[in-house]
Amino acid sequence: MCAERRDVVVVGGGVVGCAATRWLAADHDVSLLEADRLAGDASGKASGMVTNGASFRAHPGFARTAADFFPEFDGTGSFEFTERESVGLVPEGDDGWAREEARRMAEAGFDVEFVDASTLEDRYPDTFVLEGYAGALVYGDSGWLDPYTYTVTLADDAADRGADVGTGVRVTDLLVEDGAIAGVESTEGVVRADRVVVAAGWRSRELCLPHLELPVRPFRWQAATLEPGRGLPDWYPMGWDPTVGRYWRPEHNGSIHVGGGEVPVNDPGSRRSGVPEEFRLRLATELPDRLRHLEGAAFVRGDTCPTGDATTPDTYPILDEPAEGPEGLVVATGLHIGGVMSSPAVAEAVRSLVTGESPGFPLDPFRLDRFDERGTEFPFVSHMAETEITEARIEADHARAD
C-alpha cells in the first residue's frame, strides 16, 4: 500500500472506477482500491451492448462522448470492439414517435434512421417476424465488447499511465477532517488523498454514510446465452424489442446473448448468479416469436450480477461532488442503464469534477440535488419492462431448485 499522500483515491474496480482512474492517471497520482478483484461484480457480467444513442437518448452529448471512445480504444491490449448495427423494433402505432426520434438524434450527430417493416425485411432477409411492428429504429454507432476484457484493459492502461491498482483492498470508511476529504481507511491501513472518487456500485451508499446519503439501491438484470436453431449471417444485427423488454446480440462463436428483465432486490448479498427457471421458460417463447434464427434455439447458460447493480430514482447516474458531502468527495454511481457503454463519458465527468475542466456535455442532469429524497424507498423504474418476474418469484424458483 502506497504510504505517500495521493492526489486521488478511486474506490471500486468495476468499469466505472477503472475508467475514472485511466482518465485521471496521466496527470494525477491515483490509487484505485478494489475490495475483491477487477470486474468481479456487475461489470464482469454485463452483456457488453454499446448502444448509447438509444440508451442515453435523453442526454445526447453524454451519449456522443461515450460512443466515440470505443472504436478509438479498439486494439488496445486484448480489447476488441465489434461494430454492428442495432435494431430497436417499433410496435405499430409508435412510428410517429420513432421518426421524430430518428430526426432528433441525427441532429445530435448519431447515425440513426427509422426503417419501415418492408424495408427492414429487405435489409435483413429472413431475420424478423414483423407482424404487429411498424418497423425499427436502426442505429449505426453501436456494437459490442467483452466487458471483463474492456474493464481490465482500462485498468492496465491506467497502470501504464502511472496509477497504482490495488485489488483485495476494501475501503472501510472515508477519512474526513474539518469537513473535507483527507483520504480513506482501508483493510490495508489509511491512504491519505486530496480527493476520493466513490465508484463502488450500489455499495457506494453504505460507504458514503454517514458523511453523505445517496438515493441508490440494488437491482438485477437477467441474461442468457442461446444456441440458435441455425447459423447466423455475419451481418446479424443486435437489437431489442420493447414489447417484451428483451435485448439481444450475436456472439463471435455463433450463439446469441439475450437479456432484460430488471428486478429490484432487497438482500443482494444472498444471491447466486444463475437466472430463474421462469426467465428461461419465457426466453423459450418470446424472442423466437420475433427472431427467426431463435426458432428451436437451445438454452446454454443464464447469468446475472452476483450481488447487484445500482439504480437511482430516475435511473440515471449520480456524477457529482455534492455540496452536502465533504469537500473533495466525488461520486460516480447508479449506472442502471449501462455503466459499460457510458463509462467513457462517466470518466470524463469524473475528471472534470476533479480538475475543474469542462466536460463536453452538461453535468447538471447528473447532480445529486436533482432528487428530493435521499432514502432507498423510491419506486423502482424499469427500462426493459419486466412485469411478471418479481423478487419473490425468483426466490421461490431458487428454493425449488435447491
Nearer to ligand FAD, 116 or 299 (CB): 299
Find out whether 219 and 386 touch, Cβ atoms under 8 Å: no
Per the CB < 8 A criterion, the answer to whether 54 and 63 are in contact is: no
Q: How many CB atoms lie within 10 A of CB 5?
A: 12
383-400: b (≥16 Cβ within 10 Å) or e: bbebeebebeebeebeee
Rounded least distance, CB 339 to ligand FAD, Å: 2
Of 307, 233, 225, 231, the residue nearest 271 (C-alpha)? 307
Smallest gap from Cβ 400 to ligand FAD, in A, equals 22
Closer residue to ligand FAD, CB minimum distance, 13 or 53: 13
Whether the Cβ atoms of residue 231 and residue 43 lie closer than 8 Å to each other: no
Q: Min. distance of Cβ 206 from ligand FAD in angstroms? A: 8
Rank residues 117 and 199 by Cβ distance to ligand FAD and give the closer one.
Answer: 199
Q: Residue 304 or residue 352: which is nearer to ligand FAD going by CB?
A: 304
Q: Which residues 6+ apart lie within 8 Å of 217 measured at CB?
A: 202, 205, 264, 310, 311, 376, 378, 380
Beta strands at 164-167 and 246-250: parallel, antiparallel or unpaired: unpaired
Q: Give the residue closest to ligand FAD by C-beta.
A: 14
292 grid coordinates: 427467426
Closest CB to ligand FAD among residues 34, 156: 34
Cis peptide before 210 (omega within 30 of 0): yes
State the nearest-atom distance from the C-beta of 369 to ligand FAD, in Å: 21
User: 5 to each of 2, 8, 182, 183, how far by Cα in Å?
Assistant: 8, 9, 9, 8
In sequence order, the β-bridge partners of residue 303 are 223
Q: Would you say 225 and 256 are in contact if contact means Cβ atoms under 8 Å apart? A: yes
Which lies closer to ligand FAD via its Cβ, residue 138 or residue 331? Answer: 331
161's CB contacts (< 8 A; 6+ apart) are 22, 25, 26
Minimal distance, residue 1 CB to ligand FAD, in Å:
13
Q: Which CB atom, from 72 or from 206, has the smaller least distance to ligand FAD?
A: 206
User: Nearest approach, Cβ of 307 to ligand FAD (angstroms)?
Assistant: 7
Kindly state the smallest distance separating residue 76's Cβ from ligand FAD, in Å.
18
Per CB under 6 A, residues contacting ligand FAD are 11-17, 33-36, 40-43, 45-49, 170-171, 199-201, 203, 207, 221, 223, 259, 303-305, 309, 333, 335, 338-341
Burial of 195 (0-12, 13-18, 19+ CB in 10 A): buried
- Closest CB 67 distance from ligand FAD, rounded Å: 11
- Of the two residues 307 and 352, which places its CB atom closer to ligand FAD in the complex? 307
